[in-house]
Structure 1
Amino acid sequence: MVPSPPSYHKLLVPHHPITAAHRDDPTPSTSASHPSPLATFHTRMAPLGQSGAAPDASNSPAPPSCHGGSSVGLVLFGAGLVSKALLQSLAEETGCCLLYVVEDRPEEVERAFGAELPAGTRALRLQDAAVALGDPRVSGAIICSPPDEAPEMIRDALRAGKGVFCEGLPSLDRQTAEACFDEADRCARPLVCGFYKRFDPALQFLYKKVRDSQVLGRIHRISTISSLYPAASLSLLKASGGIFYNAAVHDIDIISLLLGESVPDTIFSLGHAFCADMGCLRDVDTVAISMKFPSGAIVTLDVSQHCTRSCDQRLEVHGSQGTLRVDNQNPLGITEHGTSVSICPQTQAERYRDAHRELLRHFLRTLKGQEPPVVTKEQLLWTIRVAAAAEQSWRKGSAVDLRSGAMDPARVKAEVV
């Protein structure tokens, strides 16, 4: 058995994210059905901020939830790409208050929040971002901007003394991503990455059985199915770097943790664009990724944008002493096959609602200095490296060998299958 790298041989997340409700219930929740994120925002609403000169931050009224002194003030960058699950978490979390939304396109703010923002939340254009970063009430910045824009915002926020939560990848370039972490170290502020599946109660339960208790013995195979519903928009996929960096990267992260191995020896990908518009972007909407790790474990990841009635999220781990599986679940406990109408449709945001909520709470604890970011710089860089190799394999139509020491994604060696 190949020994686990130190950065991976630990809990997926600190013990705190598993709530009391999850500890009391032996069956991990999969967040089947919950209200709209906009329905749970504060009932007092303020008009959407107009463009033009931004008034001084000291004159801005604080949301009612901020007056208690214990709530953490936040600014959100990039309303156009913020996920519904994160909006839901921000709406429900009493330990924080959203003071600013920074976005150049008012229509994107309206798409995310509706016609009006929550009371006490102001919309700013990017040119006025210094107002938010200079506000002493703001402790953290949530970056939902595309990977090519995020690094500058991350650095500006860190240098302003704010902790940063990056919902997507901080960059698709490993050197740029590493520089963001180095800046966080220099500024002594946390940089939290949005690998939300680490915080899913079902996957945490599985991790403890596989890694801590080792109930399956030596791991032979792992297979995942990740079909998104509703499908991510073309604009989101284009902005986030495509299916390998927007979707597959989360499964790559979980696989590395379950195996305790950061990088496979060999990786091979097949993909196809069933949507014609996706082909115009030179990307795919369905991909199968096969990997073999140094321990001998074989992994297959099936990722798709096509799931017509409900998201499909499954994972199986096969070992020398048995098999464990995380299956699709719903509150009715009914498994459906071939029905014309989904009995209990579930969106991606609903399935991982608990995970996104606990990830946000983890970020708030890092801002308070209660725990360090659970995703380390090394783990993020390894994950980007594997995602880059998977994409290269698909584009070249050949396997990629990652056994040649420290690999630069621009110099990976392709071997003909």
Structure 2
Amino acid sequence: MTKKLQVGIIGAGRIGKLHTENILRFPDVEIKTIADPFIESAREWGQSLGIQHLESDPMTIINDPEIDAVFICSPTDTHINVIEAAAKAGKHIFCEKPISFSDEATMNAYQIVKENNVKVQIGFNRRFDKNYARVKEYVASKVIGDLHILKITSRDPEPPSLDYVKRSGGIFMDMTIHDFDMARFVAGSEVTEVFVLGNALVNPEIAKADDIDTAIISLKFENGALGVIDNSREAVYGYDQRIEAFGSKGAAESKNEIDTQVKLSTSKAILEDQPLHFFLERYNEAYIKEVADFFQSIIENTPITCTFEDGIMAQRIAQAAKESWQTGKPVSVKRIDA
């Protein structure tokens, strides 16, 4: 009988629970332990899923020689310590975005990961969305010719709490970082420069936290293409997630996912469903595919699809975007090999 891949999950909040329930779908993988400092609030949930070990100390997972891979689903300010400890313990790592709020800390962890030769996948789940993957395919195969403009719309259905905003790292690191990764992924090219216009239009109180909730972001790509991302923390009609790649021979567009494809036409109006409510509904299939890809890379010893380097570059674009917003000037993005 083949030994199951043993997994430990650090963090039992919303994203930790999502990954836990998705991982239970995989017959060759077993969740041995979930650890969270506030595990008591999740104990009933964990026991209902048959998780035997529910601990308060994440080091329980790091120090367990039977655990092969660690899922880091805890707050961003805990990521670096866990990455470094897990790498030194020889465990493969799945880490939610962003890696950290500090380029220096991220690069130090990067070196430790390389020295210990463990696999690290960053949780940019949108790469595994079938719609975005098809747009990427059309760009890469030159079906639309040379890419000229990449447009990304990303708007949440409702703003987060002010408490969350204050510890989120800001809109660029918390929200737009997915769009920065998607821009690199679809364009197949590095972002070299960022320019941002932004304001707190949804909730003026967000400005007091040195943050914004509405942004227009211009991008320059190394291959000469241009990009634009528009973000809002509140789209009253639902989770607005669209992308268009425009090239010399045509364009490829991904529209919003809706509950049904039914359109009602009457003498008074033409009606169709609103976009799916939020990211758990919109990207559920992508979340399953990203962990499947991670497990496959471990079991078959194949390269990781969404790498530590991808996480570094998305983080650097986010940092450049914040600097651009604060200074009102275009900001260059530093390459890893620079």
TM above 0.5, yes or no, is: yes
- 1:356 to partner: Cα distance: 0.9
Distance change in 2, residues 1:258/1:115 (3 Å) = closer
Question: Which protein has greater RCO, CA pairs closer than 8 Å, 6+ apart?
Answer: 1
> 1:72-96, CA deviations, whole angstroms, 9 ceiling, x for partnerless residues?
2211112236266434422433332
State the match for 1:252 in structure 2: 180
State the match for 2:5 in structure 1: 72
Q: Which amino acid aligns with 1:159?
A: K
Distance change in 2, residues 1:267/1:194 (3 Å) = same
State the match for 2:248 in structure 1: 320
Unaligned runs of 5+ in 2: none
Percent identity, aligned pairs only, is: 23
State the match for 2:322 in structure 1: 391
Distance change in 2, residues 1:232/1:109 (3 Å) = farther
TM (norm. structure 1) is 0.71
SS at match of 1:86: helix
Distance change in 2, residues 1:106/1:193 (3 Å) = same
Q: CA RMSD, aligned part only?
A: 2.9
The equivalent position to 2:130 in structure 1, one of 201, 205, 210, is 201
Q: Distance in 2 between matches of 1:302 and 1:344?
A: 17
SS at match of 2:288: helix
TM (norm. structure 2) is 0.87
State the match for 2:305 in structure 1: 374
SS at match of 2:93: strand
Distance change in 2, residues 1:107/1:267 (3 Å) = farther
Is 2:105 the partner of 1:172?
no
Q: Distance in 2 between matches of 1:263 and 1:311?
A: 26
Distance change in 2, residues 1:367/1:320 (3 Å) = same
State the match for 1:42 in structure 2: none
SS at match of 1:264: strand
Contact 1:75–1:132 under 8 Å retained in 2? yes
Q: Distance in 2 between matches of 1:271 and 1:173?
A: 24
- 1:125 to partner: Cα distance: 1.6
Q: Distance in 2 between matches of 1:232 and 1:329?
A: 22
**Paired residues for 1:274-313 under 5 Å:** 274-313=202-241
Q: Distance in 2 between matches of 1:360 and 1:164?
A: 11
> 1:204-250, CA deviations, whole angstroms, 9 ceiling, x for partnerless residues?
11111111x20111212111111224654545444441221122111
- 1:368 to partner: Cα distance: 2.1
Distance change in 2, residues 1:401/1:353 (3 Å) = same
State the match for 2:53 in structure 1: 122
Q: Which amino acid aligns with 1:78?
A: G
State the match for 2:38 in structure 1: 105
Higher mean C-alpha displacement, 305-314 vs 233-242: 233-242
**Paired residues for 1:5-404 under 5 Å:** 69-80=2-13, 82=15, 85-106=18-39, 109=42, 114=45, 116-126=47-57, 129-211=58-140, 213-229=141-157, 231-330=159-258, 332-334=260-262, 342=273, 345-396=276-327, 398-402=328-332
- 1:304 to partner: Cα distance: 1.9
Contact 1:165–1:193 under 8 Å retained in 2? yes
Higher mean C-alpha displacement, 73-82 vs 298-307: 73-82
Q: Distance in 2 between matches of 1:134 and 1:319?
A: 51
SS at match of 1:226: strand
Aligned residues: 333
- 1:151 to partner: Cα distance: 0.6
- 1:292 to partner: Cα distance: 2.7
- 1:272 to partner: Cα distance: 1.8
